[in-house]
Amino acid sequence: MTNENFRGGMGTRSKQLPWWLFLSAMLLFSCKTHGADTLSAGLTLSGSQTLISPNGNFELGFFSPGKSANRIYIGIWYKNFVSRIVVWVANRNIPISNPSQIELKIAEDGNLVILSASKIIWSTDLPSNSSNTSSSLEAVLLDSGNFVLRDGPNSSAVIWQSFDHPTDTWLPGGKLGLNKLTKQSLNLTSWKNSEDPASGMFSVGADPNGSSQYFIKWNMSKTYWSSGVWNGHIFSLVPEMRTNYIYNFSYVSNENENYFTYSVYNTSILSRLIMDLSGQIRQLTWLNGVWDWNIFWAQPKQQCDVYALCGAFGSCNEKNISMCECLQGFEARSSEETSLSDWSGGCVRGTPLQCQNNTSDNGDQDGFIPMHNMSWPENPQSLPIGSAKECKLACLNKCSCTAYAYNGSGCSIWDGDLLNLRKISDGDSGKQIFYLRLAASEVKSFAGSRNKRQLWVTVVLPISLTILISGFFICCLCIRKLKATGEKESGEDLLLFDVDMSIIATNDELNEASELGKGGKDFKLPLFSFASISAATDDFSVANKLGEGGFGPVYKVRLKLVTQVI
Ligand SMILES: *[C@@H]1O[C@H](CO)[C@@H](O)[C@H](O)[C@H]1NC(C)=O
Ligand SMILES: *[C@@H]1O[C@H](CO)[C@@H](O)[C@H](O)[C@H]1NC(C)=O
Ligand SMILES: *[C@@H]1O[C@H](CO)[C@@H](O)[C@H](O)[C@H]1NC(C)=O
Ligand SMILES: *[C@@H]1O[C@H](CO)[C@@H](O)[C@H](O)[C@H]1NC(C)=O
Ligand SMILES: *[C@@H]1O[C@H](CO)[C@@H](O)[C@H](O)[C@H]1NC(C)=O
Ligand SMILES: *[C@@H]1O[C@H](CO)[C@@H](O)[C@H](O)[C@H]1NC(C)=O
Ligand SMILES: *[C@@H]1O[C@H](CO)[C@@H](O)[C@H](O)[C@H]1NC(C)=O
Ligand SMILES: *[C@@H]1O[C@H](CO)[C@@H](O)[C@H](O)[C@H]1NC(C)=O
Ligand SMILES: *[C@@H]1O[C@H](CO)[C@@H](O)[C@H](O)[C@H]1NC(C)=O
Ligand SMILES: *[C@@H]1O[C@H](CO)[C@@H](O)[C@H](O)[C@H]1NC(C)=O
Ligand SMILES: *[C@@H]1O[C@H](CO)[C@@H](O)[C@H](O)[C@H]1NC(C)=O
Ligand SMILES: *[C@@H]1O[C@H](CO)[C@@H](O)[C@H](O)[C@H]1NC(C)=O
């Protein structure tokens, strides 16, 4: 979303071109597109024709997002970018499937309409007493990116404008607020996914009660962020606005409306505010030198504070680029949607619970697995129960119960979908453990995988490594004896190490090591220096001492195998 390339741009436009080149370019251009900013009454826009704002920043036309050729929309995008950044979509919830015979025009009744095979698909729906049928009606794409329907070129009486019907983008000069007469609030609503402009789960808009606050809501109902009230300079909960030298924000409140608008001091800077798919609002600025969109600020600041970002039974991890993950025993409802950054579908069980379906899992009773390092789901119900065993039973006996937790003082259970789970980073893991209900077979495979891993790490690996390492030591010893050089033994190259070693490697390290082996590279034996062993055992700390072997103390050594491979 933030690494679009910029083609040409203002720099090249200001250079003087030979007039004939300019003229032929214009001719070529006008054959392919309208190249104009205005659609007059009686004319139509169709096919690959577009309108271009006078400053060349914005373009309006037909487009199909992503790979879908049979979902056609009318929208406005930045003109000079290689990848299309759409700032407005007329028919976001009504895509057109038939690419032929689509037109945009001003209808006889004065409405701006989209026609597909002569049928009206989308219309500005002006109230019949305010529409105007004069022949000087025109639809114009302005420099600001606003598409207006107006009566005549010098008429300031705008009949309809796209700025009053935003999709997910708020451009400088637009208003975001509340019409006090109609009680309608202008909201920005996120796209459904990165290839579908249909209304998604997240929206931002003014307080319908008329205060100066703005809210971000999930599914138009659950508020998960509020701006705080406007104090004349900033919103009380957005202190970042104080150190702002780019935007001129202003709040207007009168008897008809409350709204917030902004402009950019340097009008040649491109800027937009979006309600992102990620559930954050983001203020973005195009940086000419860097050729990238810079996120000026984003709210809520923590990505995992977005309500239900990962859907039911999904967990959010601030530290992972992919953010969302399904809980153990669950899989994404739609991998196609999650690949387009839409996790609203959440995750579904791999195996139904026994209580939901008598016949599944041979009727074995459901079990629980512990969830470590994970915040508690939303909406726990507390039960007056005094022991962990009873708490577990209370959950087991209720078919809708999906998880329980017992923390010494009380029992909590959860009904139905688990929402807002979040991986807790190292350090503040706390003692928040809760137990997730799974079908018996899932519990078995969870326990099995853990046992198998443990067997590997604690038995197979140490034995094989010990054999290899001792073999290596013996070889070295032989070579040294053969060479019989007068070199003094330095502490750095201590190869003889009179201890038995048990190496505890993590799964990742093992995978890396085995991949190295597969990749054709020689997987040579590690050469341990005294320093590395000392570091790996934390200076031979007692904490890492596993016990005394026949040849001396045994230390737990944690090594990053790859970095040790020679
Ligand atoms: C249009 O009609 C509505 C009610 O039908 C009325 O409230 C409104 O004032 C009218 N507008 C104009 C411009 O006449
Ligand atoms: C409608 O058009 C007439 C001229 O045809 C003009 O005088 C009038 O102001 C227009 N009304 C609106 C609401 O634009
Ligand atoms: C519209 O603009 C043109 C040129 O700018 C001017 O000559 C004309 O008088 C204007 N018409 C009206 C009604 O303002
Ligand atoms: C969006 O608009 C509707 C109706 O105007 C309103 O009820 C809703 O609360 C708004 N959503 C947000 C996030 O403000
Ligand atoms: C808005 O008004 C309604 C009814 O007056 C009230 O129940 C609600 O709490 C108010 N919301 C806020 C955010 O003030
Ligand atoms: C969103 O809200 C609608 C209407 O209020 C409701 O029918 C729908 O189930 C909600 N979606 C989710 C995922 O809860
Ligand atoms: C900021 O915006 C307001 C309202 O749009 C305007 O009156 C004011 O002149 C602007 N300030 C600057 C420094 O551009
Ligand atoms: C406005 O921005 C452009 C491009 O970012 C820059 O070249 C120009 O100097 C700026 N103008 C002012 C007055 O800061
Ligand atoms: C990040 O997420 C991916 C995909 O869900 C997962 O495979 C990977 O293990 C995660 N990484 C970490 C460090 O959690
Ligand atoms: C399970 O199946 C038995 C008979 O096969 C039936 O009596 C019982 O009600 C079923 N239980 C549930 C929870 O569906
Ligand atoms: C119950 O489980 C059986 C076997 O796993 C499956 O064939 C059947 O479709 C399931 N029924 C329901 C209602 O989930
Ligand atoms: C939980 O986090 C701690 C500290 O980061 C870590 O040592 C432990 O292995 C984690 N537990 C699980 C089951 O991931």
Tens digit of pLDDT for each residue in 210-224?
Answer: 889 999 999 999 999
Kindly report which listed range (108-122, 278-292, 472-486) carries the lowest average pLDDT score: 472-486
Instruction: Please tell me the predicted confidence (pLDDT) of residue 488.
Output: 39
Per-residue confidence band for 501, with pLDDT thresholds at 50, 70 and 90: very low
Ligand nearest to the CA of 212: 5
Kindly report which listed range (41-50, 109-118, 190-199, 446-455) carries the lowest average pLDDT score: 446-455
Cβ–Cβ under 8 Å, residues 420 and 308: yes
Task: Tell me, in angstroms, the distance from the centre of ligand 10 to residue 388's CA.
Answer: 28
Ligand nearest to the CA of 6: 8
Cross-strand pairs, 295? 284
Burial 448-473 (b: 16+ CB within 10 A, else e): eeeeeeeeebeeebbeebeeebeebb
Strands 501-503 and 552-557: parallel
Instruction: Please tell me the predicted confidence (pLDDT) of residue 292.
Output: 84
- The most confident of the ranges 237-241, 314-318, 467-471 is 314-318
- Listed residue (316, 437, 420, 324) closest to 376, CA to CA: 420
Cross-strand pairs, 59? 52, 77
Query: Does pLDDT of 31 surpass 60?
Result: no
| Percent share of the chain, pLDDT over 70 | 70
Task: Tell me, in angstroms, the distance from the centre of ligand 4 to residue 515's CA.
Answer: 53
Closest Cα to atom 12 of ligand 9: 320
Task: Tell me, in angstroms, the distance from the centre of ligand 8 to residue 265's CA.
Answer: 10
Closest Cα to atom 3 of ligand 9: 322
Q: Tokens 């915040």 sit at which residue?
A: 375
Return the sign of the alpha-carbon dihedral for residues 517, 519, 522, 527: negative
Q: Which amino acid is at 428?
A: D
Closest Cα to atom 2 of ligand 4: 185
Task: Tell me, in angstroms, the distance from the centre of ligand 10 to residue 352's CA.
Answer: 15
Per-residue confidence band for 426, with pLDDT thresholds at 50, 70 and 90: low
Closest Cα to atom 3 of ligand 2: 134
Ligand nearest to the CA of 159: 2
pLDDT in tens, 363-422: 788 999 999 888 899 999 999 988 899 999 999 999 999 999 998 778 999 999 999 999
Closest Cα to atom 3 of ligand 11: 360
| Residue 306 vs residue 132, higher pLDDT | 306
Atom of ligand 12 nearest to the CA of 373: 1
Task: Tell me, in angstroms, the distance from the centre of ligand 2 to residue 160's CA.
Answer: 13
| Domains in the chain, CATH or no CATH each | 1-10+18-165 (2.90.10.10), 170-307 (no CATH), 351-448 (3.50.4), 493-566 (3.30.200)
Query: φ and ψ at 443, to 5 degrees?
Result: -65, -40
Task: Tell me, in angstroms, the distance from the centre of ligand 3 to residue 154's CA.
Answer: 6
Task: Tell me, in angstroms, the distance from the centre of ligand 6 to residue 405's CA.
Answer: 28
Query: Does pLDDT of 456 surpass 80?
Result: no
Radius of gyration of the chain (CA): 32
Q: Is 6 helix (H, G, I), strand (E, B) or coil?
A: strand
Which among 263, 264, 265 is the best mutation to test ligand 7's pocket, defined by most ligand atoms within 8 Å of the CB? 263
Closest Cα to atom 4 of ligand 11: 360
Whether 432 is in the pocket of ligand 12, judged by its Cβ within 6 Å, is no
Q: Tokens 């329907």 sit at which residue?
A: 149
Whether 552 is in the pocket of ligand 4, judged by its Cβ within 6 Å, is no
- Strand order of the β-sheet with 58-63 is 51-52, 58-63, 73-78, 86-89
Query: Does pLDDT of 74 surpass 90?
Result: yes
Cβ–Cβ under 8 Å, residues 89 and 168: no
pLDDT in tens, 349-371: 998 888 877 776 677 889 999 99
pLDDT (mean) for 515-529: 35
Ligand nearest to the CA of 206: 4
Task: Tell me, in angstroms, the distance from the centre of ligand 2 to residue 106's CA.
Answer: 15
CA 410 to chain centre: 36
Atom of ligand 8 nearest to the CA of 10: 4
Whether 360 is in the pocket of ligand 11, judged by its Cβ within 6 Å, is yes
The reported pTM is: 0.73
Q: Tokens 């326990």 sit at which residue?
A: 447
Whether 130 is in the pocket of ligand 1, judged by its Cβ within 6 Å, is yes
- Strand order of the β-sheet with 501-503 is 501-503, 552-557, 545-549
Task: Tell me, in angstroms, the distance from the centre of ligand 1 to residue 127's CA.
Answer: 8
Task: Tell me, in angstroms, the distance from the centre of ligand 1 to residue 303's CA.
Answer: 45
pLDDT (mean) for 15-41: 54
Please tell me the distance from the alpha carbon of residue 52 to that of residue 231, in angstroms, as a whole number: 39
Task: Tell me, in angstroms, the distance from the centre of ligand 3 to residue 152's CA.
Answer: 10
Which among 209, 211, 222, 258 is the best mutation to test ligand 5's pocket, defined by most ligand atoms within 8 Å of the CB? 209
